[in-house]
Structure 1
Amino acid sequence: MRSFLASAVALSSIIAGATVSGGLLAPEAHAQAASSDLIRRVIVQGNERIEARTVESYLLLEPGQPFDPERVDLSLKTLFETGLFADVIIARDGDNLVVQVVENPIINQVIFEGNRAHDDEKLSEEIQAAPRGVFTAARVQADVQRILEVYRRSGRFSVDVTPQYVPLDQNRVDLIFEITEGPVTGVRSINFIGNEVYSDRRLRSEIVTRQSRFWRFFSSNDNYDPDRLEYDRELLRQFYANQGYADFRVVSAVAELTPDQEDFYITFTIDEGEQYDFGEITVETALDKLNSDTLEAIIPIREGTLFRGDLIEDTVDSLTFAAGIAGYAFVDVRPRIERDPETRKVNIVFAIDEGPRVYIERINIVGNTRTLDRVIRREMRISEGDAFNRVLIDQSRNRIRRLGFFEDVEIEENPGSLPDRTEVDVRVTEGPTGEVSFAAGFSSVDSFLLDLNFTERNWRGRGQYIASRIQTSSRQQTIDLRFTEPRFLDRDLVAGLDIFSTRTDFLDIADYETQTIGGSGRIGFPLTDRMNMNLRYTLRQDDVQIRDRDIVIDGNGRIVRDPNFPFFIVSVEPIPDNIPNGGQIVDQCDLANLDRTSLCRQERTDLSSIVGYSFSWDRRNDPIRPTRGFDLGFSQEVAGFGGDVFYVKTEGVATFYRGIWRDIIASLRFSGGYVTAFNDDDLRINNRFFRGGNTFRGFDVAGLGPRDVIIDMDTAGNVTNIRRASNQSSLGGKVYAIGTLELAVPNFLPEEYGIRTSLFTEFGTVGLLDEADRTQEQVFEVTDVNGDVTGYQILRTEDETSLRAAAGLSVFWDSPFGPIRFDFSQILASEEYDRTETFRFSTSTQF
């Protein structure tokens, strides 16, 4: 560094053409006789880029004023403090004031060499030097310290940074930082002294710093960072305070370098103290609209329970919120804590006073590199000039987080220009809002699908949502385009347009396929801050085709059966030779076949004109990972405003969340639906409910619900077997009801692996067909080679709305390739004809 400073001085000398020293007055100036004590003219010399007027603006002297040595000295200091000049001389030449300057060079470019752990962009954000900036030795030295700090935070304490420069023409330089990164300094061990209640292992799990291990290659928390160590001290205090140890303190936190200078030993010396319970909890207030008894009833602290520090903060928030509802935007809630070591009780008095009136002077949006300011500001519940309100601030933060555009959102308050003014800084960290997803799924039967999905939830930073989806599998091919404008006509309205084309092949589960093409428009608006209503209209054309299957019928239009397998004969080449006189080969749904199934009635092309609405109510405490609250959804759609289809479909869903302990979070979800036709219309199969796969883990797609089955019976009438007539016999249902209980549980794997696990159980049913949608029961004799009857086979529709249930484990992995989910299921209750699966996975990649 000393050599660099010497080089910088030499650089200034070269630029100036001679070595000059800042001074008050040159000696020769004293030898000149002044004809007057007033300054006649100010002469600026040596400036190349900076205009003379700019130099004169920093002077405290001007023509017509007397020569004042004190003002000359202050002018000299002012010019140096600008950072624009390497040297300045102020001299007197007769009646003229001569200001001779040597300008600092301009940085042409900043170059980093040797950096691998941190890219150029990261380092450029940390330093002050930038292209077209002024080159000064002091600024470069400060930048060196910043670079050293960046590397030390990542555990590289042996890093060396050497600044160099290359002089260029026109008083420019290239600034080069030569970096020798050195090895990463890890944490060999973390030890605790003074802990008796909790083990070292438990306390290590409560702090951020981790011991260096070979499997932590995705994390930097096992690198020594002194700033992180201070944060760990606070985490320990919070942990013990939440376990009742109100007197806990960290006596010291020491980091010692290992003899090989590659790692650190970290030792925390702590004093646990005694465990306390909550004692008497009271609320004092002199505000007219607030009643102490009422406020005491809403606080989450109860006398006699274990002391927890976070409950004090929660109580302050609850009381502030209650005061805000009562109309007090400015309140000061101060807890007075009194510890009684003899009884081990903590008595708390929450004193509520009307605080000083503070108004929002300015709202600053910081960190939004892509999202436009107005997209964020329109989610704020406060505006510039409003009274400061903590409740509205918290609501604004949740609304911004609910957008899903940012990894982190923090709102800070800073002093304004006056004591009763404050500035609100909304600091956001842009997150990935686009997603290119690839999904694949397997089942125990035959399921395999590929799904390519492009989604951008913040198109052009305007908050607009666009999505395009192409899905292909043995079952479905879909092209779906969607666009949503969250601020239609610059009002609090959400408008969207969808265009879709879908070919669905249910031949392997329901013996039919459909081709659907159409579009829909929708508009949504808020009823309250947490309630929303959406209206939509859909126009689509559905073409339902039943599987083409040739069968043999006799002259009476009845299916010719095989005596050993009493079901219809499929036409093959050559044509069967047992066609009876007057018989013929026809399609299974031909009108000449009097034994055709009810499914044949579904083969038609219809135009559907559908009007619908949906209502949502969100009372979750966190829109991303809730631990309390609930969210409800209810929707209805009516087909029949024109078109060929007439039905009413109703669906509802409710999910409740509850944090149990630490990372254990329970959620209970209920969903159900009912659809029925009206105007003497039949309910088409593609408008019924099919559940399974992602909608009911443990069962294949359309794996449960009404289905055509074959019942085998012996000659005595005893049922020997019940099986699916085929894998293509699913009929769907008019009603479904499903409940899901899920418990997020810790897996004790290192956090840097990004693996989360949850236990689940799903239970419910699907069914309730109309009589016209059932296949008419048919009984067939089974004979042996001698023609003797050995049993019977019955073909009929099973519509048992019996309980189905499954339980299992879901694993979520935030892998380097994108989020991956694995579901392992075990069937608890099912019917013999259901289709089940035990494993499914999906993955996606974000950008």
Structure 2
Amino acid sequence: MGESLLRNNAVPHGRVWISKGSKRMPPKILERGPFPQISEGLQEHLFTKGMGSAMEEKILLLDGRKIPSQGQESFSKLSQMMKRILLIFIFFFLLFSIGRAQEEKIFRVIILGNVKVEEGVVRGAVKSKEGGPFSADQVREDLKAIYGLGYFSDVQVDIKSTPQGKEVIFVVVEKPSIREIRIVGNQKIKLEDIKEKLTLAPRSILNLEKVKENEEQIRKLYFSKGYYGVRLEHRVEYLETNEAVVIFEITEGPKGYIKKILFKGNRKIKTSDLKKLMSTKQRNIFSLITKRGILDEDVLKNDIQLLHAYYIDHGFLEVKISEPKLDLGDPRRIRIEIEIDEGPQYRFGDIDFRGDVLTTREDLFRSIQIKRDEIYSTTAIRKDIQALIEKFANQGYAHVDITPHTTTDPKRHLVHLTFEIDKKKLVSYEKIEISGNTKTRDKVIRRELLVAEGELYNASQMNKSRDRLKRTGYFKEVEFTTSRGSTEEKVNLDIKVEEAPTGALSFGLGYSSIEKVVGTASISDRNLFGLGYHGVLKFTLGSISEEFRLSFTDPYFLGTRYSAGIDLYHENRDLDTYSYRITGGAIRGGKELSETLRADGAYKLERIKVHDVTEDASRYIKEQEGDRLTSSISIGLTMDTRNDYFNPTKGGRHNLTVENAGGILGGDNTFFKVTASTSWYFPLPWNLVLNLRGKAGLIESYGGKKTPIYEKFFVGGLYTIRGFEYGMAGPYDENKEPLGSEKMVVATSELIFPISREIGLRGAIFFDIGKGFDKWSDLTPLKMGVGVGIRWFSPLGPIHIDLGVNPNPKRGEKRRVFDFTVGTIY
């Protein structure tokens, strides 16, 4: 390699190096002369001090002698002339040398000193290539690049001139590699969980910055679990084999929670409203089973952004929210303080439209909700943009572009808004493609669509089609996307679905003084064979009753918009003074009259036998003994406007059903029966939902026959008046045997409130009032029940628990009745 690369820590001409901590990093690369006309000492002086300063020295002659002081004036002209000659000579010689250097090629690039780092990795960082032109500047950049790889503690370069060209030699000193990573002191968090957060790995090159980063990742992991008092230290043990052991020492400390979240400066927005926006929450009683109360700094940063967006959305365009102040003095009780400068509240000023209006401005104003002088809201702007897009998209302008332009008036605190409309071209559907349906047939999906290939694009009908598919219950997810067709005037509709488990295995338990413990089990499928058929097989077994029911429904019978179904059932019930058995079946049909209204009809034929009537049974029950045949037809109307079938918060469901038995239909029983029900849902503040329900029924026999006991209304118990046992809120005999009623009325008010959003737990407070009665004169006094309940979509399925209390129990009536049901999905 020639001369030593290091010479008393000086920079030798022709060689440079980088060493960690050096102030000359990266060093200046110098190319040796050769200059035989100038002494080596002068060359070094020239290259060290610079060409200009060297020639300004007054004490230097070519032969090394100093100018004598005597006769200096007479020698002045000669001296100046020699200086000029020397300058000119050096100038032209340097030009010649530089020209030669520029023409020189790189003969060879050599990498030395690498042991674990592959040579190809180093060469990949070097742009000076063999056979390419030599450039001192490029070698300097290569030196930086090699050091920047992070694998080396020292990098040097040696440049040698050979007859074939320049030989560039890079000499590297590798950093130690990591032999082992040790985690010490962890007890509350598993070692595997900590290792998942590490980016360091054994046999990798030691990088102290990465060690610090990994320490911070471990700290964040502990913080995310609530260990805010954790102390972390790292140390590195260096081995003689150029290896190192990285050790993270952990002192965990106690687990802590957020005790208080404080806001300062919020005068217009309530603290409670701000807290609702945040995912960061104070600890509560459910923190043991949820992550509520755990401080996650990343989540907290996102919460600050949400708060800022919320203020902007409420007109506070100049709001300033400070960084949260964390009080970790006691890691077990963390306080968070957020300071807010709300600033003035802005309102909407002038509102206008421009561009492809296509209609009158009055018509467009009817499509939007924003009004002048209302509080500025980005949400309101987005909603109105969507309303305008839908208005134009429903006319076939699928690519309409609505751009809001705003200007602010800081003096009057107004925001002027203009909607710019670019309708673009009319568009029609070219292809409708369906994917993701591994079970459900294509035709089952297509029959729910309100759009078809070849029709003009219609956003409203497309959204309704998506809602119809969701409402079937066949799919977890339904996604509609459009893509460009063969031309700009055509789009393809891509429908992507994710199949849901449509089969259900459920069981329920209840308790009453009549049945004691009753259990139910059912198996059902809403999408049988992937053809959209509905099938149910249900068994009920109690201490005094048993029931079997089989149902099958085709919602699109023979490919039409009509539904058809069949029911088969058998029921045995053993009561204190009598027993009865019902065996029968029904055929059903129906049709959707609109998006929310449906009509259904059914014909029922069943054989009923009342038997084992005891001697002390009431006269009415004794008259029911024997076999009877019921042949009836029923018609019903149902309107459903609920926003969610499982957890509705608004809308309602209403039903009216009329049934007639006997007469021209034949059979032994003759009666006319009417039932009506209504249920309304109202969203309230604080995520409360008010559910108001009502139910009424009337049955009258004709032809001189009495009403069958098994067709009457049994009021009391779950879904009627809670706090009463089954049928005990209506007529009963001296044996406390419910007799059913010919009339009934029930009203319910239920307030549903969230207990834990994280686990989907909700509570309910209810008030039921009503009665089962035979004569209108017996309507009063009404029966009442109050109580509390739990609604939980648990891992086992929906759980429904109610504890009803009868506030004014009569003799023989229970004061409290407890009911619950549990279901699961498979």
Q: TM-score under structure 1 normalisation?
A: 0.59
2:675 is matched with which residue? 651
* 2:518 aligned with 1:459: no
CA distance in 2, matches of 1:677, 1:399: 41
CA distance in 2, matches of 1:533, 1:192: 56
Offset at residue 502 of structure 1 (A):
0.5
By percentage of residues, which structure has more strand? 1
2:730 is matched with which residue? 705
Q: Is the 8 A contact 1:766 1:801 kept in 2?
A: no
Q: 1:726 aligns with which of 711, 735, 753?
A: 735
Offset at residue 451 of structure 1 (A):
0.9
The residue type equivalent to 2:758 in the other structure is E
Offset at residue 529 of structure 1 (A):
2.3
1:686 is matched with which residue? 710
1:222/1:445 CA distance change after superposition, 3 Å: same
1:612/1:832 CA distance change after superposition, 3 Å: same
Q: Say what the alpha-carbon RMSD is for the aligned residues.
A: 5.1
CA distance in 2, matches of 1:831, 1:346: 67
Offset at residue 503 of structure 1 (A):
0.9
Q: Is the 8 A contact 2:397 2:426 kept in 1?
A: no
2:79 is matched with which residue? none
Counterparts of residues 279-318 of structure 1 (less than 5 Å):
279=348, 284=353, 292-293=361-362, 296=365, 299-301=368-370, 307-318=376-387
Q: Secondary structure at the match of 2:806?
A: strand
Q: Secondary structure at the match of 2:448?
A: coil
Q: Is the 8 A contact 2:805 2:815 kept in 1?
A: no
Q: 1:495 aligns with which of 559, 564, 580?
A: 564
1:116/1:656 CA distance change after superposition, 3 Å: farther
CA distance in 1, matches of 2:573, 2:604: 19
CA distance in 2, matches of 1:245, 1:489: 59
Q: Is the 8 A contact 2:673 2:700 kept in 1?
A: yes
Q: Is the 8 A contact 2:613 2:621 kept in 1?
A: no
Q: 2:796 aligns with which of 817, 820, 831?
A: 817
Offset at residue 846 of structure 1 (A):
1.3
1:808/1:287 CA distance change after superposition, 3 Å: farther
Q: 1:765 aligns with which of 768, 771, 775?
A: 771
Q: Could you tell which deviates more after superposition, 599-608 or 515-524?
A: 599-608
2:659 is matched with which residue? 637
Offset at residue 833 of structure 1 (A):
6.5
The residue type equivalent to 2:684 in the other structure is I
Q: 1:612 aligns with which of 634, 637, 640?
A: 634
Q: Secondary structure at the match of 1:644?
A: coil
The residue type equivalent to 1:727 in the other structure is K
1:667 is matched with which residue? 691
1:599 is matched with which residue? 621
Q: 1:744 aligns with which of 743, 752, 769?
A: 752
The residue type equivalent to 2:713 in the other structure is F
1:277/1:735 CA distance change after superposition, 3 Å: farther
Offset at residue 470 of structure 1 (A):
0.8
Q: Secondary structure at the match of 1:375?
A: helix
1:487/1:834 CA distance change after superposition, 3 Å: same
Q: 2:762 aligns with which of 752, 756, 765?
A: 756
CA distance in 1, matches of 2:373, 2:764: 33
Q: Is the 8 A contact 1:282 1:296 kept in 2?
A: no
1:528/1:192 CA distance change after superposition, 3 Å: same
Offset at residue 808 of structure 1 (A):
2.5
CA offset digits 1:413-466 (Å, max 9, x no partner): 445554444444444444332221121123477642111111222223332221
Offset at residue 690 of structure 1 (A):
0.9
Counterparts of residues 236-385 of structure 1 (less than 5 Å):
236=307, 239-241=310-312, 243-246=314-317, 273-274=342-343, 276=345, 278-279=347-348, 284=353, 292-293=361-362, 296=365, 299-301=368-370, 307-318=376-387, 334-346=403-415, 348=417, 354=423, 356-385=425-454
CA offset digits 1:51-70 (Å, max 9, x no partner): xxxxxxxxxxxxxxxxxxxx
* 2:417 aligned with 1:409: no
CA distance in 2, matches of 1:636, 1:277: 57
Q: Secondary structure at the match of 1:394?
A: helix
Q: Secondary structure at the match of 2:622?
A: helix
By percentage of residues, which structure has more helix? 2
Aligned length: 597
Counterparts of residues 424-435 of structure 1 (less than 5 Å):
424-435=493-504
1:677 is matched with which residue? 701
Q: Is the 8 A contact 1:705 1:799 kept in 2?
A: no
* 2:654 aligned with 1:626: no
Q: Could you tell which deviates more after superposition, 281-290 or 237-246?
A: 281-290
CA offset digits 1:13-72 (Å, max 9, x no partner): xxxxxxxxxxxxxxxxxxxxxxxxxxxxxxxxxxxxxxxxxxxxxxxxxxxxxxxxxxxx
* 2:592 aligned with 1:521: no
Offset at residue 467 of structure 1 (A):
1.2
Q: Is the 8 A contact 2:537 2:550 kept in 1?
A: yes
1:422/1:521 CA distance change after superposition, 3 Å: same
Q: Is the 8 A contact 2:397 2:457 kept in 1?
A: no
Offset at residue 375 of structure 1 (A):
2.8
* 2:215 aligned with 1:206: no
The residue type equivalent to 2:502 in the other structure is T
Q: Is the 8 A contact 1:494 1:524 kept in 2?
A: yes
Q: Is the 8 A contact 1:379 1:400 kept in 2?
A: yes
CA distance in 2, matches of 1:837, 1:738: 19
CA offset digits 1:113-163 (Å, max 9, x no partner): x9999xxxxxxxxxxxxxxxxxxxxxxxxxxxxxx9xx99x989xxxxxxx
Q: Is the 8 A contact 2:354 2:418 kept in 1?
A: no
Q: Secondary structure at the match of 1:643?
A: coil
Q: 1:532 aligns with which of 591, 598, 614?
A: 598
Q: Is the 8 A contact 1:467 1:481 kept in 2?
A: yes
Q: Give ranges in structure 2 of 5+ residues lacking alignment.
A: 1-114, 119-189, 194-216, 226-249
Q: TM-score under structure 2 normalisation?
A: 0.60
Among the aligned pairs, what percent are the same residue?
26
Q: Secondary structure at the match of 2:816?
A: coil
Larger radius of gyration: 2
CA distance in 2, matches of 1:461, 1:116: 43
Q: 1:504 aligns with which of 568, 573, 581?
A: 573
Q: Secondary structure at the match of 1:392?
A: helix
Q: Secondary structure at the match of 1:395?
A: helix
1:385/1:212 CA distance change after superposition, 3 Å: farther
* 2:615 aligned with 1:549: yes
For CA contacts below 8 A with separation 6 or more, give which structure has more relative contact order. 1
1:705/1:212 CA distance change after superposition, 3 Å: closer
Offset at residue 367 of structure 1 (A):
4.2
1:21 is matched with which residue? none
Counterparts of residues 3-42 of structure 1 (less than 5 Å):
none
Q: Could you tell which deviates more after superposition, 676-685 or 307-316?
A: 307-316
The residue type equivalent to 1:735 in the other structure is K
Q: Secondary structure at the match of 2:623?
A: helix
Q: Could you tell which deviates more after superposition, 222-231 or 628-637?
A: 222-231
CA distance in 2, matches of 1:311, 1:294: 18
1:56 is matched with which residue? none
1:822/1:116 CA distance change after superposition, 3 Å: farther
CA distance in 2, matches of 1:702, 1:686: 12
Q: Is the 8 A contact 1:616 1:632 kept in 2?
A: yes
Offset at residue 381 of structure 1 (A):
2.1
